[in-house]
Amino acid sequence: MNGLLVIDKPAGMTSRDVVNHVQRWFPRGTKIGHTGTLDPLATGVLVICVGAATKLADVVQAMGKTYHSRFQLGSTSDTDDADGTVTLVPAAAPPTEEELRATLTTFVGEVEQLPPAYSALKVAGRRAHDLARRGEAVELKPRTVRIDAVRLLGYDWPFADVEVDCGKGTYIRAIARDLGAKLGCGGLVQTLRRTRVGSFTAEQALGLDLTWEAARKGLLSPDILRH
């Protein structure tokens, strides 16, 4: 029981919840792990490593990723997404499409990004989101991330639909937050879907309504990572 499962994570579940669900499909004691946290709000590609393939988790995590997201401008959130406490920005001025496109280009490249306070990063051994929920101050340092492309797919104030190609550790919520700050109108992620991790795509992803037989048949050989 060794291999990779490409799962289409539904909204409302944590990545750990998905791992717990997948464990039901395999014999007790089988090692199972995910390859990169998706927020509960997010859906899409979550690669699960089974058995000896768990040793390859870092390889998958390092792969490039693609996200589709709907940004909500004119508002901010304490979590930088729609799952948090959303606050309208008074008298927020809608940017033109040209201003929006021009500002999005400033996020492409090797950029310094401040992770959201509500994130799984650890501060003194504790998860940042746990500290934030308790009302404790969360001090995270900016990190260098790689953003290969940000494409504007549609714009109808206050919503902007974007597609992002990026490297490991990039927070789409932080892009929405920082975009809103640069435009002076506020911004947050309303919806988020990961459509690609490396060569693994949403089209090949499996739902969580599988039988254990179908799940085991869906295992991909770890050798696929060598191609």
Catalytic machinery residues: 39
Residue 49, φ and ψ in degrees, nearest 5: -100, 135
Contact 17, 10 (CB under 8 A): no
Selection from 41, 62, 72 nearest residue 175 by Cα? 72
CA 147/CA 166 separation, integer angstroms: 4
Sign of CA dihedral 127, 170, 76, 70: negative
Cα distances (angstroms) measured from residue 128 to each of 34, 43, 119: 20, 22, 6
